[in-house]
Amino acid sequence: MHAWPASEVPALPGQGLPLRVFDTATSSVREVVPEGPTARLYVCGITPYDATHLGHAATYNTFDLVQRVWKDAGHDVLYVQNVTDVDDPLLERAVATGQDWTELAARETALFREDMTALRMLPPAHYVGAVESIPWIVPLVKQLLATGAAYELDGDIYFSVDADPHFGEVSGLGRDAMLPVFAERGGDPQRPGKKHPLDALLWLSARPGEPAWDTELGHGRPGWHIECVAIALKYLGMSFDIQGGGSDLSFPHHEMGAAHAQVATGEHPYAQAYVHAGMVALDGHKMSKSRGNLVFVSKLRREGVDPAAIRLALLAHHYRTDWEWTEQDLAQAQERLARWRAAVSRPDGPPAEGMLAEMRAALAEDLDAPGALAAVDRWAAAQAADGGQDIGAPGLVSRAVDALLGVAL
Ligand code: 5CA
Ligand code: ZN
């Protein structure tokens, strides 16, 4: 499917620093060094049964920063994102609200694109739905069946977690700790007949009233983890640089995905680094479509909130911390946006090269966006206090804020 239009990334003088980022698999901040000129990024996309909320936006903001740091360091970026356009929660919502599931998915995906465009998130080169990836999922599952890593159970096909000696390396969880999380996040540890309770569905045979496709695996639909693997392998290949998503995806989704891919290809690792954004909460709970405690990007935009202020509100939190959205987040971001806009609207100001270096250093060191905002705040304060004679400075600040943070002043 098509993605959304790209906003231009202004060129900056000099070059940024190599990206260091927290990798869940090694539990450490490390330099992620793309093998060639092109950095490869896969980010898990939405399940389109409701509008984009601020938690989603915070996660996509994180991986937008990854791309901006890489580009500033001289890399091209090959970015792939999926849309889980057939899965249980989408089908359940469609039934509950009496909508056609394809129409629901198409409408919410269209709204997501609008929100991403308004927030100036760089679009993926390949934006791919689960449904359109079925032709690549089928041979992958066949390959797993052929190696004995997958087995059939009443027409469904499961992946055997014992087939991957590296299983557990992504999340770092032991099997006892995995079980309750697996049950919470879509798994079925109790189903009788499975070889191991943690084995995950690769293929579901057709259920009454649910969509299904006729394939060599039978009449059915794909499981969730294999969808992302098929798309990532097709467009990025093994050992791509970063697998990204919110921290709720580290287990089971990214753990299972890595295991599927590693067993199917016989190669390791699936990704060089697994990067996870913290969860955004509202009223004391993680924002989630299932709980319904949501602040939608589109609702704020409808109320006339400048998307640049929404983006600044997200940037004010370090991506790895869990945080709670409050009215104050937005008020502070709006105040900052007005302050920065006033500061760059003058024809000259204090020199900005130092600020650019500070922004680059902050972002390259585990995407410290609050540190980057503080550097701009200091320049804006100097501008407000004493001004300056440097004619290029306000332009450089506004280009740096746009190129590195995706905020248009
Ligand atoms: N379609 C799957 C991924 S393949 C999925 O998890 N979809 S989602 O719509 O539930 O979430 C989309 C992205 O937003 C995921 O990366 C998820 O980790 C992230 N996300 C969901 N809720 C939050 C939240 N409250 N805070 C931060 N990120 C969130
Ligand atoms: Zn995914």
Is residue 336 exposed (0-12), middle (13-18) or buried (19+ Cβ within 10 Å)? buried
Q: Cis link prior to 197 (omega < 30° from 0)?
A: no
pLDDT of residue 287: 82
Least Cα distance to 254 among 229, 279, 290, 289 occurs for 229
Task: Supply the pTM of this predicted model.
Answer: 0.97
156-159/150-153 β-pairing? antiparallel
Rounded to whole angstroms, the Cα distance separating 202 from 206 reads 13
pLDDT along the chain (409 residues), means of 10: 96 97 98 93 96 95 98 97 95 94 97 98 98 98 97 97 98 96 94 97 95 97 97 98 98 98 98 98 84 91 98 98 95 98 97 98 98 98 95 97 98
Q: Which of 248, 255, 324 to mutate to test the pocket of ligand 1 (most atoms within 8 A of CB)?
A: 248
**pLDDT, position 55:** 95
Note the pLDDT of residue 372: 98
Span from the CA of 228 to the centroid of ligand 2 (angstroms): 5
Strands (E), 54-211: 76-83, 126-129, 150-153, 156-159, 200-205
Predicted local confidence at residue 394, as pLDDT: 98
Q: Write the residue with the smallest CA distance to atom 6 of ligand 1.
A: 46
Contacts 24+ apart (CB under 8 A), 102-105: 104/48, 104/49, 105/48, 105/49
Beginning with the edge strand found earlier in the chain, give each strand of the sheet holding 271-277 in spatial order. Answer: 126-129, 76-83, 38-43, 240-246, 271-277
pLDDT of residue 33: 86
What's the 222 CA to ligand 1 centre distance in angstroms?
A: 19
248 in ligand 1 pocket by Cβ < 6 Å?
A: yes
Beta carbon of 45 within 6 Å of any ligand 1 atom: yes
In this prediction, residue 107 carries a pLDDT of 97
By alpha-carbon position, which residue is closest to atom 4 of ligand 1? 44
Answer yes or no: is the C-beta of 75 below 6 A from any ligand 1 atom.
no
Question: Residue 24 corresponds to which tokens in the numbers above?
Answer: 């869940």
Which pairing describes strands 156-159 and 200-205: parallel, antiparallel, or unpaired? antiparallel
Q: Which atom of ligand 1 is nearest to the CA of 82?
A: 4
For ligand 1, pick from 43, 44, 81 the residue to mutate: most ligand atoms within 8 Å of CB: 44
Please give the pLDDT value at position 335: 98
pLDDT at position 347, please? Answer: 94
Residues 6+ apart with CB under 8 A from 59: 43, 244, 245, 246, 277
Query: How far away, in angstroms, is 392 Cα from ligand 2 center?
Result: 43
